[in-house]
Amino acid sequence: LLQPGDQLEKIADLLDQLSLVALAFPAFSDGRSFSKGELLRGRYHFEGAVRATGQVLVDQLPHMLRLGFDEFEISNPVLLKRLEEGRTGGL
């Protein structure tokens, strides 16, 4: 699990051995993990799963999908409720 302040370069040499990289979103206002997701796919050509964890908002999901995120571990209660109710408008 990489926190927003962690550097991707620390794990770059291990990426070909990993099937998953999880990126933390501890606060909805901290977008540094968006950049990490994009770098994993673009610069490092990572083909494994990229998982967003933490305070993910429903408005952020389409952007995350475009950047290459393909898994979500969601703790935001509003988003969880919307997903449980099947209200995924626009995804």
State the pLDDT at residue 90: 62
**pLDDT greater than 70 at residue 16:** yes
The predicted model scores a pTM of: 0.87
**pLDDT greater than 90 at residue 88:** no
Q: Which domain holds residue 61?
A: 8-84
**Is residue 21 a part of any domain in this protein?**
yes
| Contacts of 2 by beta carbon, 8 Å cutoff, 6+ apart | 8, 11, 21, 22, 23, 24, 33, 36
**Is residue 53 a part of any domain in this protein?**
yes
State the pLDDT at residue 91: 63
**Is residue 1 a part of any domain in this protein?**
no
CATH classification at residue 77: 3.40.50.2300
* Inter-CA distances, 56 with 44, 45, 59, Å: 24, 24, 9
Domains contained in the chain, number: 1
Buried b (16+ CB within 10 A) or exposed e, 31-63: eebbebbbbbeeebebeeebbbbbbbebebbee
**Is residue 67 a part of any domain in this protein?**
yes
**Is residue 2 a part of any domain in this protein?**
no
**Is residue 50 a part of any domain in this protein?**
yes
pLDDT tens digits, 25-77? 998 889 999 999 999 999 999 999 999 999 888 888 899 999 999 999 988 78
